[in-house]
C-alpha cells in the first residue's frame, strides 16, 4: 500500500476517532439463526468453499526449489512444493496405491516416496499423485480443490492483488501454525473479525488497551473488503502535520478475502486465519498463522515475535471464541429465529450478503 493511500486511510480513521463514530451501513441487517445451525446451509457452504480459490499459506513457506509444505484444507491433506523452475505445484497428499500420506510437515526433498511401500510419487515435477491447480499470487500460496477448475487469482482479488503484494506479508518470515477446532459455526468464527465494536467489552484488558472500540474504516472490493481499526495513539496525530505521520504506527488493517480468509496486517505482523466448516454446522476449524518482517535468525528477536503470536492466538481462543461458543449454543436452542447486525457493523453486512449471493447462484 503506497504512502498516499495510507495517509488517506489515516485521515479517514482520524476523523472517525475525533468524531467518536464509525463508518455506517445504510440500515440494520438481519440473518436467520438457521444460517449457523442448518445442515442444508452447511452443505451449501461447503460446496461454495470447494468451488472457490483457496489461499493456504505464505509464499515464504516455500523459500526455494525443492522445498515443500503440507496443508489440511477442508479435511484433505495437500502437498505443496516449489519445483526447479521456481513455480508452485500442489498435489493431494495421497499415494495412489494404498492412500498413505506421502509426506508430513515442511522441509526439502529431491523426490517424494510413499512411506508405506517406498513407491516413488514425484520427481522433478512429474507425479503419480493427483495434481491440483496451484499458483503464487500477492505473496501467498493458492490452490483449487477441484482439479478441473481454472485458477485466476488476479481476477479473484481484483485491485486487492497489488495491495496485498505491496505489504510483503506473504514474503515475510513465517512463524508458527496453530489449529483451533471449535464448537462454533465457521461463519460465526469469521464474524468475530468483522467489527471492533466488541473490543471495549470482550477485549477490555487486551486489544482494547491499544485499539479503539466501535471505530472502523470500511471499504468493499467486490466480494472482499478491508477494515481499518485505528489504534488509540491515532488521536495524537491531530497536532502533527500529515507529512510527518507514520500511518502504520496508528492502525491495524484487516482484509476479508472471500470466502473464508482473514488477514490482519500491521507494521510488524501479518496474521493469516483460514477458517473451514467442519462436519457439523456447530463446528469449525481455524488455522492461524503469522509472519514477521523481523530477522528471526536472532534468537531473542524470534522469541519476542513468537510471544506476540502466542498472545494474539490466546486472545482469539480465550476471549473471542470462548464467548461465541455460548452464542452458538443459543442459536441452536431455537430461542430466537434471527440475529441483527447494527449499522456500525458494515463488515458483517458485506460478508453475509456475499455469502448469500454465492450460495444462491
Q: Where in the chain is the domain with CATH 2.102.10.10?
A: 54-150
Characterize 139-157 residue by residue with b for buried, 16 or more Cβ atoms within 10 angstroms of its Cβ, and e for exposed.
bbbbbbbeeeeebebeebb
Mean pLDDT over 75-102 rounds to 87
Q: How confident is the model at residue 110 (pLDDT cuts 50, 70, 90)?
A: confident
For the segment 233-269, what is each residue's pLDDT rounded down to a tens digit? 999 999 999 999 999 999 999 999 999 999 999 999 9
Q: Is 261 left (phi over 0), alpha (psi -120 to 50) or beta?
A: beta
Name the pairing type of β-strands 217-221 and 224-230.
antiparallel
Helices 346-360 and 39-50: angle between axes, nearest 10 degrees: 90
Residue 111 has pLDDT above 80, yes or no: no
- Prediction pTM value: 0.94
Q: Which of 101-115, 121-135, 198-212, 346-360 has the lowest mean pLDDT?
A: 121-135
Report pLDDT for 24.
98
Q: Where in the chain is the domain with CATH 3.90.380.10?
A: 3-52+159-360
Asked if residues 273 and 140 have their Cβ atoms less than 8 Å apart, the reply is: no
Q: What count of other Cβ atoms lies within 10 Å of the Cβ of residue 211?
A: 20
Q: The domain at 3-52+159-360 falls in which architecture?
A: Alpha-Beta Complex (3.90)
Distance CA 338, CA 289 (A): 33
- Cβ-in-10-Å burial (0-12, 13-18, 19+) of 333 comes to exposed
Q: Which residues contact 354 (CB under 8 A, 6 or more apart)?
A: 223, 258, 259
For the segment 202-234, what is each residue's pLDDT rounded down to a tens digit? 999 999 999 999 999 999 999 999 999 999 999
Q: What count of other Cβ atoms lies within 10 Å of the Cβ of residue 297?
A: 8
Q: What is the CATH number of domain 54-150?
A: 2.102.10.10
Amino acid at each position: 500500500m503506497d504512502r498516499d493511500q495510507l495517509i488517506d486511510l489515516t485521515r479517514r480513521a482520524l476523523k472517525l476517532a475525533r468524531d467518536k463514530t464509525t463508518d455506517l451501513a445504510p440500515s440494520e441487517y438481519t440473518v436467520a439463526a438457521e444460517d449457523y445451525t442448518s445442515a442444508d446451509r452447511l452443505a451449501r457452504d461447503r460446496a461454495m468453499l470447494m468451488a472457490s480459490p483457496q489461499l493456504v499459506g505464505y509464499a515464504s513457506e516455500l523459500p526455494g526449489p525443492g522445498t515443500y509444505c503440507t496443508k489440511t484444507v477442508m479435511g484433505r491433506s495437500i502437498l505443496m512444493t516449489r519445483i526447479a523452475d521456481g513455480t508452485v505445484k500442489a498435489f493431494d497428499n495421497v499415494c495412489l496405491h494404498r492412500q498413505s500420506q506421502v509426506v508430513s510437515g515442511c522441509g526439502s526433498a529431491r523426490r517424494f516416496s510413499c512411506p508405506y511401500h517406498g513407491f516413488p510419487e514425484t520427481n522433478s515435477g512429474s507425479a503419480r499423485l493427483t495434481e491440483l491447480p496451484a499458483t503464487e499470487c500477492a505473496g501467498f500460496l493458492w490452490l483449487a480443490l477441484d482439479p478441473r477448475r481454472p485458477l485466476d487469482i488476479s481476477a479473484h482479488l481484483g485491485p486487492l492483488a497489488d495491495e496485498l503484494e505491496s505489504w510483503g506479508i506473504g514474503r515475510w518470515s513465517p512463524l508458527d501454525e496453530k489449529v483451533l477446532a471449535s464448537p462454533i459455526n465457521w461463519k460465526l468464527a469469521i464474524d468475530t473479525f468483522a467489527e471492533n465494536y466488541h473490543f471495549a467489552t470482550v477485549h477490555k484488558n487486551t486489544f482494547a488497551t491499544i485499539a479503539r472500540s466501535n471505530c472502523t474504516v470500511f471499504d468493499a472490493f467486490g466480494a472482499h473488503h478491508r477494515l481499518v481499526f485505528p489504534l488509540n495513539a491515532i488521536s495524537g496525530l491531530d497536532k502533527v502535520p500529515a507529512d510527518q505521520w507514520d500511518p502504520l504506527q496508528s492502525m491495524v488493517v484487516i482484509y476479508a478475502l472471500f470466502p473464508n480468509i482473514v488477514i490482519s496486517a500491521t507494521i510488524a505482523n501479518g496474521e493469516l486465519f483460514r477458517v473451514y466448516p467442519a462436519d457439523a454446522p456447530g463446528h469449525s476449524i481455524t488455522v492461524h498463522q503469522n509472519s514477521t518482517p523481523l530477522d528471526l535468525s536472532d534468537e531473542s528477536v524470534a522469541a519476542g515475535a513468537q510471544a506476540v503470536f502466542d498472545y494474539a492466538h490466546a486472545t482469539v481462543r480465550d476471549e473471542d471464541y470462548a464467548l461465541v461458543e455460548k452464542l452458538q449454543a443459543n442459536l441452536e436452542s431455537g430461542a430466537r429465529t434471527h440475529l441483527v447486525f447494527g449499522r456500525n457493523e458494515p463488515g458483517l453486512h458485506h460478508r453475509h450478503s456475499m455469502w448469500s449471493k454465492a450460495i444462491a447462484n
